[in-house]
A = this chain, B = another copy of it.
């Protein structure tokens, strides 16, 4: 059997089709965040939503004008990082190639890209505790929906709390509003609300990320993409966060507001688990343990 993850090379770097040893100092990804990324769950060596991740990446590369890559090569190299058939997280960064100083992109420069393997993050079995972030998300239709590498707004939001806040107890995630006051998402997850039997999720045409688990949910349930106010969140009968690493996570508290477990959320988690065993009955921390074994 192949060695445990911590005995294996954790990253591979490439320019176009060529493997390289290290990031060049003049990488545009480092200078300008001029790139895109995908963060993927890996279950027994397979990525549940591989095609959706690659489709979102291709859309982003086209919108940013980044030269194309050989999708088959990305897949081969991704598989090579998980050829022990293990569990984990696969991160892919694709940045514009060309280097140099100045904003002007070099057309057709081969992208600089990186694959890396990580352990599944530890996850509590308890419903999530959320807070409102002070850091807003700016409105930028030219970038909305993309999982691009300009993430200072998320970094600043995430820096607002430590995992344990003295006055608030444990905090798992924070909700961010746009500069116009609409609720958009958590720092690293999309948001769904249930009112009666109606699911809604914030539109991501002005800011926010078009999450892959969000897309799965939109295909699985009859949810409206709409503008969401903080009051909509407070008055919801159930709230969930979702992303491609953690799947569907019920929310138990937001500030003073609490939610009891809701059967509609449990039902969605079961449906996701049947569709993709990565998100099935085994708890995340169990899977994390397996990933390390």
| A residues apposed to B, CB below 8 Å | 11, 13, 21-35, 37, 39, 64-65, 89, 91, 93, 95-96, 101-105, 114, 116, 118, 121, 135-136, 138-143, 148-159, 179, 187-188
Contact = CB atoms under 8 A, between A and B. Distances in A.
B149 A93 contact: no
A13, A22, A179, A187: most-surrounded residue (chain B CB, <10 A): A179
Given A11-B25, A25-B116, A103 B154 contact: yes
B33 A152 contact: yes
Nearest to A115: B25
Given A30-B30, A32-B149, A104-B158, 4 more contacts: A29-B30, A32-B154, A64-B155, A105-B155
A156 to B, nearest CB: 6
B32 A103 contact: no
Contact of A25 (B23, B143, B156): B23
A37 B154 CA distance: 19
A111 to B, nearest CB: 13
B150 A64 contact: no
Given A142-B135, A153-B140, A159-B105, A13 B32 contact: no
